[in-house]
Structure 1
Amino acid sequence: MTHSTPPAALGAKKRLFLRSWGCQMNVYDTGRMADVLAPLGYEPVDAPEGADMIILNTCHIREKATDKLFSELGRLRGMKEKKQAAGGEMVLAVAGCVAQAEGKEIVIRAPWVDIVLGPQSYHRLPEMVARAGRAARAVVETDFPVEEKFDHLPEASAPQGVTAFLTIQEGCDKFCSFCVVPYTRGSEYSRPAQAVLAEARRMVAQGTREISLLGQNVNAYHGEGPDGREWGLARLLYALAEIPGLDRLRYTTSHPRDIDEAQIAAHRDIPAVMPFLHLPVQSGSDRMLEAMNRGHTAEEYIRLVDRLREARPDIAFSTDIISGHPGEKDEDHAATMALIRRVGFAQFFSFKYSPRPGTPAAGAPYRVDEATKDRRLQEVQALLIEQQAAFNASKTGQTVPVLFTGAGRQPGQFSGRTPWLQPVHVAGDASLLGQIVPVRILAGQPYSLHGELLHALQQEKNAA
């Protein structure tokens, strides 16, 4: 029997350009695509020009996501034809949620695309690359074998850095009226706790000090534990916090319906769990929350916030707000503004409603006109920006622990994050990288903080 030698074994390196849009889970997925292609000799590069393979990992959440994809594919078509004219080959792949939702349209409108794969299929990339070399048309994989994907991911992975993302849960069973996730990511699935813990240990061994757990509905996590029993998110957080060298834990995105007492207690009892929670509310109107199929009221959301603040008084919140969902009236918008004032948010994401094909809201009556959506969104954003700026300003004069992750924009400047996920810039040197250092905040600006290292600490570091 004849065995072929992998390209990597022959020293044949290939250039791989990856571009990721959208959520943090897409960032994680993009990194794992690089991992599964590494044995074929593919090495990531920073620009698409001359690449041997290009993967566009798409997101269907943002407005006009499909239009942006086809615009980018049109630009890359020229690069691919140029390389072919020079005697080379470029494999062009579209991955992610737009690929899942629009796979047939991509094949029809962009026949120069070689591979179309959904978010649950990227573990099959090596096989798809081989098939694409023999196929007369695009190789399309848009099934939902989520369990199989995680089972087949390689244990080895490239270091992510001081901070890292780790997917523990995928899919969603909530079916919010505006959301395409259940149709592009499938039903809820939780990875076994042992697999999550093993991956976290590998990350820490490679230098990671902060891990952000990811899931479309992360606090619906219900993975099998090493003891054979079902673990919830809180039990997983306790186990992760026991890993030596793992100093900070975060998780996103949570759904209010799935917050339980154990999750609240974890914020109180686990120092590694950061005092910051992204908790989308979408609207402050009970009428709109019902239309959105959110499964909770505004008052229930506020009670959750109050209970979390009682458990962890320094906790800060971010949220998602949608303006102009079908049927939204002025009084609904006013209720949203009232909820924002009542809660007080440190960060936020806000959007005008835009229809997603196949979702219930896409065909709903009583559409809000664009001018009204614009006005309401501007009012929401003005209030949220004011709250974010006030929260940042409240840190002025405080000394806070900052995990330094990289160089700043200015020479001699380095940046990191506070426990509340605020970016902080200080004058320092590269010895700060990967360290958690006390920083005195000099100024809280609308989108970041400016601080200085404590003099005693700096002198100690210089002496060392």
Structure 2
Amino acid sequence: MKKFYIKTFGCQMNVNDSEKMAGILRSLGYEKTDLPEEADLIIVNTCSVRAKPDNKAYSFIGNLKKIKKEKPETIIAVGGCVPQKEKESILRFKHVDLVFGTFNFMKIGELIKRAKKERVVEILNSKIPEEDKVPLIDSYLENPYVAYVTVQRGCNRFCSYCIVPFTRGRERSVKPELVLKEVKRLAERGVKEVHLLGQNVDFYNYEGIDLADLLYMVSEVEGIERIRFTTSHPCGFNRKIVEAMKNIEKVCPYVHLPPQSGSTKILERMNRGYTREEYTEKVMMLKEEIPKVALSGDFIVGFPGETTKDFEETLSLVETCVFDQGFVFEYSPRPFTKASNFKDDVPKEEKNRRLQELQNLLRVQAEEKNKKRLGCIEEVLVEGKSPKGKELSGRTKDNKLVVFDGSEELVGKFVEIEITETSPFFLKGKLLQKVKV
């Protein structure tokens, strides 16, 4: 049996695409391996949202030259956002046999067959397949109890720093019946939790059926116990979605709502479409309706034109909204974007200083919120071994990572955990009893 290895960079959308490719390959008789040197086929699924994952991907691809030299018959394929935007940057690696874009991953089996005979470059820039016509694929799930379901692709927002509209195309929503069909198939396979994915999931709309409507529909699927959705956009996030979260027991009280900046001036330069006040109002509405909701967000520091005062407004926004988790990135210019023409006028050292200061504030907030969990009893869906591999780990309904001692027979089950230790990043606890299978 031939073996495949997939290296994924980037967001959950890329993870979901990789799982679908893995599912296709398994149906073709391939077996997954965690060692690239053992593989007959190596796929690198790239991300270009920031310079850092770009560079990591290039480094990884370059290192595959050694494997290709030792095993010339190994097929090396590179797909995803990087080749979609600039295929030449991948074609310079002469040991790469197959280059494909973000719209071509469903045809991975056909592309590999061609790549056995000649170098293949397949980048679709027009006639993007309608989501209704994309075949339903049984994904190979890294976690057999938690699955991603793509409900919306692409973006119409054109934030001045973001390359997604150029790599993923315009907004397209998946027909509700197809979403439900996939969720039901996942439930039959034992999946307990689904994540509804979209570049801007709040803008999901299929012939008048919006995200809130879809949440109600998915909640009716027997066997699915938890529902999450990501990534939200402040312009699309609304009271109807919050009401659905509040009314549907299965929908988790967790929202990833990226503010990116706390300065209205910078938000305008970013073309985000909302002000600091509008973002804050939505967060306050969310927390008023669902007091125990967990909030996370993304932040960019050092955006062109960001002054010390602008950065202080971001710190102030974080202090006002209070986050459970935050992801901070230094601004890096992306090709094709409007901001790539702006003067990158914040020095690297200052970007790093701001990143550290904002991360420290977010860490303090997370630690303070987690400390309040001491002695509490939490329901946890056990997902497997902890990152260090000695204990089990899982997540609470509001997305807190919990590690504890227990036997592997608990994986895939809901358990009650008494929280005994806390940190900014995870909780530790003691197993009390099994809740349900």
Q: TM-score, normalised by structure 2?
A: 0.95
Q: In the alignment, is residue 50 of structure 1 matched against residue 32 of structure 2?
A: no
1:140 matched to which residue of 2?
Answer: 122
Please list, as runs of the form range in 1=range in 2, the aligned pairs for 1:299-378 lying within 5 A after superposition.
299-365=277-343, 367-378=345-356
Tell me which moved more, 399-408 or 379-388: 399-408
CA RMSD of aligned residues (A): 1.9
Q: Give the aligned partner of residue 193 of structure 2.
A: 210
- The structural deviation recorded for 1:430 is 2.3
CA distance in 2 between counterparts of 1:337 and 1:428 reads 40
Kindly state the Cα deviation for residue 412 of structure 1 after the two structures are TM-superposed.
Answer: 6.8
Identity %: 40
Would you say the 8 A contact 1:417–1:423 is kept in 2?
Answer: yes
Task: Deviation per CA, 1:409-448: give whole Å up to 9, x if none.
Answer: 6787321101121111122222322122222111221211
Contact 2:252–2:398 under 8 Å retained in 1: yes
Match of 2:53 among 43, 65, 68: 65
Are 2:84 and 1:96 equivalent residues in the alignment? no
Aligned match of 2:3: 15
Change (3 A) 1:433 1:289: same
1:156 to 111, 134, 138: 138
Q: 1:76 to 1:41 in 2, by over 3 A?
A: same
Distance 1:244 1:134 in 2: 46
Alignment correspondent of 2:169 = 186
Kindly indicate whether the alpha-carbon contact (under 8 Å) linking 2:83 and 2:100 is maintained by their aligned counterparts in 1: yes
How far off is 1:149 after superposition?
6.4
Secondary structure at 1:387's aligned position in 2? helix
Say whether residues 1:29 and 2:17 are aligned partners. Answer: yes
Aligned to 1:286: 264
Aligned counterpart, 1:416: 394
What's the offset of the Cα at 1:313? 1.2
Give the residue type in structure 2 aligned to 1:426: F
What SS class does the counterpart of residue 304 from structure 2 fall into? coil
- The one-letter code of the counterpart of 2:49 is I
Partner residue, 1:235? 213
5+ residue gaps, structure 1: 1-12, 224-228
Whole-Å separation in 1 of the counterparts to 2:19 and 2:362:
32
Q: 1:411 to 1:298 in 2, by over 3 A?
A: closer
Give the aligned residue type for 1:352: E
Q: How far apart in 2 are the matches of 1:424 and 1:350? A: 23
**Cα deviation digits, residues 62-109 of structure 1 (max 9, x gap):** 32333322322221112112112xxxx1111111111211212311x1
Give the TM-score normalised by structure 1: 0.90
Question: SS state of the match for residue 451, structure 1?
Answer: strand
**Given the superposition, is the C-alpha separation of residues 231 and 147 from structure 1 closer, same or farther in structure 2, using an over 3 Å criterion?**
farther
Q: Which residue of 2 aligns with 1:298?
A: 276
Structure 2 runs not aligned, ≥5 long: none
SS at match of 1:167: strand
Q: Which residue of 2 aligns with 1:168?
A: 151
Equivalent in the alignment of 1:77 = 65
Contact 2:131–2:172 (8 Å) recurs in 1: no
For 2:204, the aligned partner's letter is Y
- What is the count of residue pairs matched by the alignment? 436
What is the CA-CA distance between 1:305 and the residue it aligns to? 0.6
Q: Which moved more, 1:36-45 or 1:245-254?
A: 36-45
Q: How does 1:241-260 map to 2 (within 5 A)?
A: 241-260=219-238
What residue identity is the alignment partner of 1:428? Answer: G
Q: What is the rounded CA distance, in whole Å, between the counterparts of 1:213 and 1:402 in structure 2?
A: 20
Q: Residue 211 of structure 1 aligns to a residue in which SS?
A: strand
Partners of 1:121 and 1:145 within 8 A in 2: no
CA 1:287–1:147: 2 relative to 1, 3 Å: same
Is residue 88 of structure 2 the alignment partner of residue 110 of structure 1? no
Alignment of 1:256-271 (within 5 A): 256-271=234-249
**Matching residue's letter, 1:76:** L
The one-letter amino acid paired with 2:129 is E
Counterpart code for 1:60:
S
Kindly provide the amino acid, as one letter, of the partner of residue 141 in structure 1.
I
